[in-house]
Structure 1
């Protein structure tokens, strides 16, 4: 019994040391996880940046090959619960009004018919906005920005789900070879659709 206080003190020291070590190990593990997450996020940011540059390059190619005035991608978002459409990627000629500020967090229900058309059709060749676009809001958006003709190519992911649409717009009437436009947009879509970064608001 005379050694009982020393034994209790020794046990307390051992238990305290064990808890300290355990906490230290947990802290180290947490630090390692945080560092790994930071590295992963950096890799994702770099990949997103690289992919964004590639997408912009493809849009620029379309703009110049088809002599268009404005080329952009309309993307549904948020992923998994798509209820809005927005533009993040856009290339346009100098002096041409941007469509990007007009289509930001636009509710799909406001352009329901047009969004349904974008989802269903792989390719749309619209030479007469007034007669070929039946959705009033979409018609108003296109017309108010001076669009006279528009070519639209659907983008799909690996599951064939709609991830966006390339819009190639012309603000002046011009003769467009539909077969050539289809081929150019198809090639661009193949280069873009699997690397297209998700829209982040």
Structure 2
């Protein structure tokens, strides 16, 4: 169901009045409409099927060695995402790293990005978000193992309470072959590695 923009705008106006503000003053007059657009964007994933992008796969068993499955993981690093914490409705944002060990099928890398975007675009907690991404990929893709690492900064930590602006939260969700810590150690190392692409400092 699409976000009800008119209702969000009306509730924003009421909220401004509740904190003692005047929603008719020049600086706030357009705020209810802006909040309606913002919420429509931030919560576009509510009710959407996160598995839909994984419906179109490509066979990797066609070619010179049709009986050979891929021996290593597909790793997509640094997928930027933003979400809203369901506890305080404050934003959290960071990067997702996704790895999967293909079976006979692989999927376009953009599909993995869309899975993250869909699940992040709803009220969330980081711990659940990582698990949902892993479950969606493991349940809808021919994968022998899935690993999802999220590294995010939370507004409820950086802007309120302890106010720790440099703090970030890392969560790991693993399925099947990567449920074992030793099996995913190489991937964790690759996620942390940063190639220089052949460039050297002058």
Q: Does the TM-score normalized on the shorter chain lie above 0.5?
A: no
Structure exhibiting the larger radius of gyration computed from Cα positions: 1
TM-score (norm 1): 0.32
Bigger fraction of residues in helix: 1
TM-score (norm 2): 0.32
Bigger fraction of residues in strand: 2
